[in-house]
Structure 1
Amino acid sequence: MLNFADFNVTMRLINPNLPLKIYKGHAIDKRCVYLVISKYKPISLLSTKMITVKKFYDNNQSVWRMLFSLNSDSHSSKSMFDNIFNDIINSLCLINSEEKALNTLCSRYEHWQRLLSKIPESFGRLKQQGLLSELYIIKKFLIPQYGVSQSIEMWQGPRGDKQDFILPKTWVEIKSVSLGKREIHISSLDQLNSDNSDGYLSVVTLQESNIYDNTAISLSILIDEIESMIDDDLVLLDFRNKLLLVGYGMNDDEEFIFKITNIEFFCVNQDFPKLKRRDIPKAIKSISYTLDIDAIMDFNICPGEIKWE
């Protein structure tokens, strides 16, 4: 155990075999921290709402110190913080050069910083409704087809991919709507477009319910059901990371209970009514639009017709 008086932290070295010295510990105010020490000067890294980053030059030791401090004491935040550094540390295991290791660490942190910047401030009814719809598609359709590990891997929406699910030869975008609503919002030109293949749009209709409805489901129940199917620690870690990235568990919002009343699938091919990049002037950098669900019923297909492979 080491006490770095300059930082008011007590820490332990994580792995002496790494080319960088990385310590983990707690600050005097009990916040979780990681400290990185290198003879090379690191780039300046941005702090986030969740993590504060500071760098210092130690004239006495002639080294640079980078301190990563967690700004929250919630269990979910601590789990995410540890997951981030587990990922960073794993990326360094095959690197022998200290300078290259430092560059890799900074690059991986910047990757996570971009993801963390997208975590919503709150996780209310609409966000819960959207996440529940995606998880239900995983459990109901993807796991029976691909197994739980590959299904979690294909869930790429939380990491900022164009569509929610990237399958081996196609893709699936999920939209959730409340009962009685028959329109969906397309937030970008890329959401229903792919250079590689046609894909599928799934519209999940939900109705808010309560605990007395035995046909209803909540996010926590659905998440527990999926986690009970996972027997690989790395897959479980990936699943939980993705939940955190969409905002689940990061806030103290009330949990809602929903009944899924309908699931529709639509084939998004070249004839599907969508805006395409080639039809939009180059001066327009972003665009969103609304689709009338009843007006795209010619593209409606049953789940058995979907070419998952």
Structure 2
Amino acid sequence: MSDEGFRDVAEEHWAALEAAPTSGERHLRVSQLPVVTEQGALVAAVDHHGFRHVLIPVHSRLKIRPGLDGPVLHLRKRPLEDEETYQTYADLACLRADLNDLFTELCADILDAISKLPDHPVKALYQVLDRWKALFQAQSAVLGPEQLAGLFGELLLLYRLLQLDSSAHRLWRGPTGHRHDFTTGSLAVEVKTSTKGEGRRARIHGLDQLDAPDDGFLCLAWFRLHRATEGSSGIGFLDLLEQTLRSCDDESSLLELLAQAGYQSVDAMRYRDVRFVIDEERWYEVAPDFPALTTRALVAAGVPISVLDVEYTVNLSGVTPAPMTSDAVSRTINSLIQESA
């Protein structure tokens, strides 16, 4: 069915529901739409206030992306029950009747996308919502060389985590402003990259970045990268990004994290020639004897903390601190997944 066909079908269902007697305050008037997923058919609905909804059936354990709860569009998880059935839905509602025509266009897009991806209806929903949202996004600044290298390093670890758990993007907290790049709460990993050919140096931002979680464990993962020339070996930035997205069970949420990290998908072609070679990878346990300047250490030493915006460099070139073994690194990665379950 074409977009126009889905648009007409949705309008017909909503018009019939709006003509029906008003439902109770906590009830919906509903009508099944001709798009079916593994969990059942999509549903058109009208609530007590006359607002229009489209309901996508989902598994009861599925988490719905937060954040879409504005004055016009509202997305939430909603159970519906009648005398014979009980089903959970992703409920997308339009809370302004004067924008029903635009909501119909949006829902026609959603119906079309889900009809082509019935095994992953919520993923299709997010893709459509993100495409519409992109219409109103201003062009972002291009990532600089150091930002690209830093994001590449974090994606290297994220990709490894996603191979073990397709929901592991929830561990990536750095883009949201958390002091550690990856964390379960009690276990954290801070990722640092360097494009320098000599020495092993990590630039630390703030007094809390190398503070371990309370009663927890912190590792620093350090990568030395060099920018590959065109036609040479190495891993393409966009190749790694696409592999990471394909491994994730919520591509849209990961794209949102990437946007917070400074990458916008509309700028993808600007990075098509960016490739990195991984020259070296070392992991360190940030133990009490690790060379770090932290709030916890200063407080323990009785030093008053009145200096802000602290940045410093840790030199990891010597014999100490000793890097973790490959087995210890593997155990740490597995522990991240196990503790997030």
Tell me, in whole angstroms, the C-alpha distance in 2 between the residues paired with 1:19 and 1:123: 46
Tell me, in whole angstroms, the C-alpha distance in 2 between the residues paired with 1:139 and 1:177: 19
Superposition RMSD on alpha carbons, in Å? 3.4
Count of aligned pairs between the two proteins: 209
Whether contact under 8 Å (1:268, 1:299) holds in the other structure is: no
User: Map of 1:221-260 to 2, 5 A cutoff?
Assistant: 221-230=239-248, 232=249, 235-249=250-264, 251=267, 253-254=270-271, 255-260=273-278
CA separation of 1:302 and 1:190: change in aligned 2, threshold 3 A: same
1:207 is aligned to 226
1:302 is aligned to 325
Gaps of 5+ in 1: 1-13, 23-82, 99-118
CA separation of 1:120 and 1:293: change in aligned 2, threshold 3 A: farther
Which of residues 132, 152, 176 is equivalent to 2:169? Answer: 152
Tell me, in whole angstroms, the C-alpha distance in 1 between the residues paired with 2:208 and 2:166: 27
Whether 2:130 is the aligned partner of 1:122: answer no
Whether contact under 8 Å (2:212, 2:286) holds in the other structure is: no
Tell me, in whole angstroms, the C-alpha distance in 1 between the residues paired with 2:328 and 2:304: 36
Tell me, in whole angstroms, the C-alpha distance in 2 between the residues paired with 1:152 and 1:135: 10
Q: Percent identity?
A: 20
CA-CA distance at 1:302 after TM superposition: 2.0
CA-CA distance at 1:242 after TM superposition: 0.8
Tell me, in whole angstroms, the C-alpha distance in 1 between the residues paired with 2:156 and 2:239: 11
**Structure 2 counterpart SS, 1:259:** strand
Whether 2:262 is the aligned partner of 1:218: answer no
1:86 is aligned to 68
CA-CA distance at 1:90 after TM superposition: 5.0
Tell me, in whole angstroms, the C-alpha distance in 1 between the residues paired with 2:49 and 2:207: 43
Tell me, in whole angstroms, the C-alpha distance in 2 between the residues paired with 1:18 and 1:291: 61
Whether contact under 8 Å (2:174, 2:182) holds in the other structure is: yes
Tell me, in whole angstroms, the C-alpha distance in 1 between the residues paired with 2:49 and 2:287: 50
Whether contact under 8 Å (1:132, 1:218) holds in the other structure is: no
Tell me, in whole angstroms, the C-alpha distance in 2 between the residues paired with 1:167 and 1:187: 21
Whether contact under 8 Å (2:225, 2:280) holds in the other structure is: yes
**Structure 2 counterpart SS, 1:265:** strand
CA-CA distance at 1:120 after TM superposition: 7.3
User: Map of 1:1-309 to 2, 5 A cutoff?
Assistant: 17=47, 86=68, 88=70, 89=73, 121-140=141-160, 142-144=161-163, 146-149=164-167, 151-167=168-184, 169-178=186-195, 179-196=197-214, 197-214=216-233, 216-230=234-248, 232=249, 235-249=250-264, 251=267, 253-254=270-271, 255-278=273-296, 279=298, 280-295=303-318, 297-306=320-329, 307-308=331-332, 309=335
Gaps of 5+ in 2: 1-43, 53-64, 79-94, 96-138, 336-341
Tell me, in whole angstroms, the C-alpha distance in 1 between the residues paired with 2:292 and 2:145: 27
CA-CA distance at 1:269 after TM superposition: 1.4
Tell me, in whole angstroms, the C-alpha distance in 1 between the residues paired with 2:285 and 2:225: 21
Cα deviation digits, residues 90-127 of structure 1 (max 9, x gap):
56667xxx9xxxxxxxxxxxxxxxxxxxx973312211
CA separation of 1:258 and 1:284: change in aligned 2, threshold 3 A: same
Give the structure with higher Rg (CA): 2
